[in-house]
Amino acid sequence: MQIGVLKEIKRKENRVAMTPAGVEQMVAHGHKVYIETTAGEGSGFGDEAYVKAGAVIIATPKEIYDLCEMVMKVKEPLPVEYELIREGQIVFTYFHFAASEELTRAIIASKSIAIAYETVETANGSLPLLTPMSEVAGRMAIQEGAKYLEKTYGGKGVLLSGVPGVNPGTVVVIGGGIVGTNAAKMACGMGAKVYLLDNNLERLRYLSDVMPKNCFELMSNPATIRKLLPEADLVVGAVLIPGAVAPNLVTRDMLGLMKKGSIIVDVAIDQGGCVETAKPTTHDDPIYEVDGIIHYCVANMPGAVSMTSTLALTNATLPYAMILANKGYKIGARQHADLAKGINVINGRVTYQGVADAFGLEYISLDAVL
């Protein structure tokens, strides 16, 4: 198969979808890999390293789309790319369709095969291609939140760890999945007082067993959130419904319960956000203020730590890319149920229920189109 790896064009997105080590493995299996020039530089991989691994360097994204049966990215295609995507072409990347009707309709119109990293799902319900970036984003949420709590950035001037004789800051994490657990671990490690909320009692029991003593696990509901917000210095939105729009759990009126200069980091912004006042921001302009509360809603947080993120991501994606390259998407999906769940759109037909529901589109089962 001819595989193309594109340079990311989202603002301050420095990750790349394949490393030279991945290229070497693909070439060893008889595949041809094309890399858009400088695609790996933001992650520490120059063109020379890709050439040494057996790749061919290509000058423009159009050439990649024209040449390749499968193209790989990290972030969703942007509008300038829509017309480049060909009918029948596999596009393997993070799509987060439920957050963008424009993107969804563009991919439907392209009649390509859209395979979303974020909806690949194993039999036990885990999301192996979302997990590594969720780990990074959860940890970054505390790092960024702690920074913007500084008075220099308009925050309250609170040090999350506190010092002897001074109380630590309070962190409220809404969602006890991968993002939330990693955020809570980081906050606990800094010495903050941490509340970790989830609506699954079994998950809370597990978290109670494994989390540090300065983490307090609570059932998530509107009453609990309202009770904790006045105490919170930092709130992390870490809610995920795979492939679907995140619910608004912190409403506009709830902001009035928080102290001025408190921080909200909404990691769920990729799926629309779980805070009503959240809107996507960029690494260039990451924060804005609503009712005195600073919002950090960068939609590609892991892109800021690209060397770590690229290695973590490609460790997970390469085995699935290899299945697609070796077997094609039809046989790959029939033989690997986890990969099948990643297929969101085929030839203009929506095959993922959450995406269809988000925009009132017709849903067709994957079995009917394979």
Catalytically annotated residues: 96, 270
Q: How far apart are CA 8 and CA 165, in angstroms?
A: 47
* Sheet containing 293-296: order of strands: 215-219, 193-198, 170-174, 234-237, 263-266, 293-296, 287-290
| Per-residue tokens: 185 | 């671990």
Distances 269 to 205, 278, 300, 301 between C-alpha atoms, Å: 27, 7, 9, 10
Amino acid type, 194: V
Cα–Cα distance, 83 to 79 (Å, whole number): 8
Query: Degrees (nearest 5) of the Cα angle 167, 171, 172?
Result: 140
Q: State the DSSP string of 84-117.
A: TPPTT-EEEE---GGG-HHHHHHHHHHT-EEEEG
Q: Which helix (H) or strand (E) covers residue 322, if one does?
A: helix 306-335
Which phi-psi region, left, alpha or beta, contains residue 327 (left: φ > 0; alpha: ψ -120 to 50)? Answer: alpha
Which is nearest to 351 in space by CA: 336, 335, 333? 333
Q: What is the DSSP string of 124-154?
A: TS--TTTHHHHHHHHHHHHHHHHHHTSGGGT
